[in-house]
Amino acid sequence: MGPVSASPVTAVEKSGPRARDPVWKNRTMPPDPTPDDSDGPGQRGVETAKSLAMLLGPADLVGRGWEIVEERTWPTGELDSESDKSRRAHAAGGITAWRKLAEAGSTRTAWFEVVPYASPADAELSLRQVPRYFVGTSRPDQSIVSERVVDDQVLPGSTDTWIFEKWTTGPGGDDLSRYVGATVDRILFLTSFGGPDGAWSWGDVVALTARQADQVRAALGMA
């Protein structure tokens, strides 16, 4: 997604097979960080806390023992630093936040991401550009079985959405991932739900994504 600058990224990460990298991470996320105090007191720390508070957590998911296995934040615009929208986002001080969860005793995973931009128009532009970063796979040990844009699902309350599913196979077995992207005001948000075929129904995917949208609206004072 373009040059990556040296600005810091923060992360919380747990080890184990469920914390394996998403297929798309090396295309849409900065390199693993060196922890520092950049997210302490100050404006960056305030914006980081705001973005993390927008994300769904274990209590929002139905099932057995959901836990956070990885969490990252970085300045919005780091991954596409030459674009005008990224320059504006960076100048506005927006912090992108991403959180991955896994269910105990299961292969089901989910992740949620919020990307604050400087304006609703910039968030909508970024939504239109999202698909190119998820098509195919960047992992040499993984193959695409099928992938498609899903046009028979609707996210309530959103007029412009990106809904996509991808079935992959590799050393870890088969995985069916379902993605939804949309915007609320100046915030782009993305959700992903993965596991074996049948792990996530589209009803569950849409319901949880609608909850994620509501959480963003509440954080912006729009609820």
Instruction: Give the pLDDT confidence of 1-59 residue by residue, as tens digits.
Output: 322 223 344 445 443 333 344 434 545 576 655 344 445 557 788 999 999 999 999 99
CATH of the domain at 155: 3.40.1000.70
Among 2, 11, 3, 1, residue whose Cα is nearest residue 74: 11
**Token digits of residue 117:** 């931009």
Backbone φ/ψ region at 57: left (φ over 0), alpha (ψ -120 to 50), beta:
beta
pLDDT of the residue at 28: 59
pLDDT of the residue at 5: 29
Does residue 4 lie within any of the structural domains?
no
Does residue 52 lie within any of the structural domains?
yes
Q: What is the mean pLDDT of the chain?
A: 85
Does residue 1 lie within any of the structural domains?
no
Q: Which residue has the tokens 């049948």?
A: 198
Does residue 5 lie within any of the structural domains?
no
Give the number of domains in the chain: 1
Does residue 43 lie within any of the structural domains?
yes
pLDDT of the residue at 181: 98
Does residue 3 lie within any of the structural domains?
no
Does residue 50 lie within any of the structural domains?
yes
Instruction: Give the pLDDT confidence of 122-180 residue by residue, as tens digits.
Output: 999 999 999 988 888 878 888 999 999 999 999 999 989 999 999 999 998 899 999 99
E strands within 27-104?
66-75, 95-103
Residue type, position 44, single letter? R
pLDDT of the residue at 177: 95
Does residue 192 lie within any of the structural domains?
yes
Give kind and range of the element (H or E) at residue 36. none
The residues facing 75 across adjacent strands are 95
Residue 151, classified by CB atoms within 10 Å of its CB into exposed (0-12), middle (13-18) or buried (19+), is: exposed
Give kind and range of the element (H or E) at residue 223. none
Q: State the residue range of the domain holding 86.
A: 10-219
Band (pLDDT 50/70/90 cuts) for residue 95 is very high
